Structure 1
Amino acid sequence: MTTSEDAGERARHLPAGRRAALVDYVGQQGQVTVAQLAERFDVSIDTVRRDLDQLDAEGQLIRTHGGAVSASSMAPNDSGLDVRLRMQVEEKEAIARRAVEIVSNGSVVMLNGGTTNLAVARNLRNHRDLTIATNNLRLPAEIPAKVYRDLYVFGGSVRSITQTTTGPVSFQVVENGEQIAVQADLALIAVGAVSTTGFSTSNLGDAAMMAAMMDHASKVAVLADSTKLGRRLFAKVAELARADYFICETRPSADIATALEAGGVEILTP
């Protein structure tokens, strides 16, 4: 006599049943390797890879080098860049398209690290004669050479997980024996969290870099997708009023919107 447990076990080894069980398992574990999944489900490495590719295409998990992660578990702050590049892609593109509208040709622009500003860099393709300064090590490869006149990358300690330089750095340059402060027309700062108490991120060095960029810009635009709203992370970057613009793919909740507007911040949405 066949029991429901036996039927369930057979279904688990059928492609559809196995993939459903695999998604559940990844959701429970948060992050797994191909080898772990092959052992867990008693199938070959190649079978697991095909399953992961299919589930990634369906948006049920996120395929990474050597395994997979649950999208929900990796949404917080310090997931690797390869993972974060695949999160909230449409939202970041919408934010980027809105952000480049406030960038003037011929201006000096600072951009910090993060995948949102990588989207901004790509969307600057129709701009010309910009001077760009960044701590984002991936940005030079993302922005077309015809867009900028000069491109500078700030030094500092390298964080491989985010592919940025970080920490407090000197925003002074020495020319003909004199110190000259770096000054931008606009700083585009992507943050990890936004609450009524201010903008924050998960790393003290990153917060110091963001704050320094803000201090050396005539105007500041803070960028965050809606998953960052209503959250507060370890390192505070600045008060809400430090920004001139806040750019999100949707209007923030009433409490955050009220706090932003009370600080004189203009909310920009697509």
Structure 2
Amino acid sequence: MLTSQRKKAILDALDRDGQVLAGDLSAAFGVSEDTVRRDLRELAAQGRLQRVHGGALPASAAVAPLAAREDMDVAAKQRVARKAASMIEPGQVAIVDGGTTSALLVQCLTPDLTATIVTHSPGIAVALAAHPCVEVVLIGGRLYKHSVVSVGAAAIEAMSHIHADLYFMGVTGVHASAGFSTGDYEETYVKRALAARAAETVVLACASKLNTASQFRIGGLEMAQTLVVDAGATAKQTRALEEAGLTIVRA
């Protein structure tokens, strides 16, 4: 089998099964595991998959720069954002993550909503500056330019004083075995710290992020209670996530 044929077979298997194991591929192709690992390395370098111990998972496309992500899955993100915004009750304290879906979420808040929004995203804070009834708490720290959010020790220290009702968490990947993931190491610590300060963590993800993974793991599926997905998410995509205990809300 040619290298190009093996790589296509690997990607087909990822699309079909959601993961591949190097040992199984080696046996199926009749080649050494070293050859399979080389194929996986090359596909990972092209952004086609995410390597993990023993094999690979589908790679998330949501690790592109912010400007590029603003044009991805816009209609789906808008539906997810509207559903998420409707979950905030008057008087609640809600933490809103950075990211393109979160930016749409705050645009969907009704003008008469009285609530407190805590965010480590300067863009989210500025977007809420003109809201007549929402109090805004902006967490500072080192600016992570890729997502335009504050990260680092100062941000995590500030979060320790918060008790929130909800945390709307953005991720780049949701996978039944790999959990929630993102494309930046420091962001994982910030997201874990925010989740620890909320009574309920709600993950926002359009269908393209389901059953994919990025380089850095935020945590297992148990760290969230609810997953808001767009209506384009199929039952096959969400079945394992529901079986893991997540409440799936379709927008």
Q: Following superposition, which runs of at least 4 residues in structure 1 exceed 6 angstroms of deviation? A: none
Secondary structure of the residue that 2:85 maps to in structure 1?
A: helix
Q: Which residue of 1 aligns with 2:52?
A: none
Question: Could you say if the C-alpha distance between residues 252 and 205 of structure 1 is closer, same or farther in structure 2, counting changes exceeding 3 Å?
Answer: same
Q: Which residue of 1 aligns with 2:200?
A: 219
After superposition, residues 120-269 of structure 1 pair within 5 angstroms as 120-143=105-128, 144-148=130-134, 150-168=135-153, 169-172=155-158, 181-197=161-177, 198-250=179-231, 252-254=233-235, 256-269=237-250
1:262 shift after superposition:
2.9
CA contact (8 A) 1:193 1:229 kept: yes
The correspondence for 1:107, drawn from 85, 88, 92, is: 92
CA distance in 2, matches of 1:109, 1:157: 22
CA distance in 2, matches of 1:233, 1:261: 21
Unaligned runs of 5+ in 1: 1-71, 174-179
1:241 shift after superposition:
1.9
Q: TM-score when scaled to structure 1?
A: 0.65
Give, as a single letter, the amino acid of the residue that structure 1 aligns with 2:212: R
Which structure has more RCO (C-alpha within 8 Å, separation ≥ 6)? 2
CA distance in 1, matches of 2:234, 2:121: 30
CA distance in 1, matches of 2:152, 2:172: 16
Give, as a single letter, the amino acid of the residue that structure 1 aligns with 2:211: G
Q: Which residue of 2 aligns with 1:92?
A: 77
Question: Could you say if the C-alpha distance between residues 195 and 253 of structure 1 is closer, same or farther in structure 2, counting changes exceeding 3 Å?
Answer: farther
Question: Could you say if the C-alpha distance between residues 127 and 217 of structure 1 is closer, same or farther in structure 2, counting changes exceeding 3 Å?
Answer: farther
CA distance in 2, matches of 1:191, 1:134: 15
Q: Over residues 111-155 of structure 1, what are the superposed CA-to-partner deviations in whole Å (9 max), with x where a residue is unaligned?
A: 11100000001011345221111111111232342141x211112
Q: Which residue of 2 aligns with 1:54?
A: none
Percentage of identical aligned residues: 24
CA distance in 1, matches of 2:219, 2:133: 30
Larger Rg: 1
Secondary structure of the residue that 1:145 maps to in structure 2?
A: coil
CA distance in 2, matches of 1:260, 1:186: 20
Secondary structure of the residue that 1:146 maps to in structure 2?
A: coil
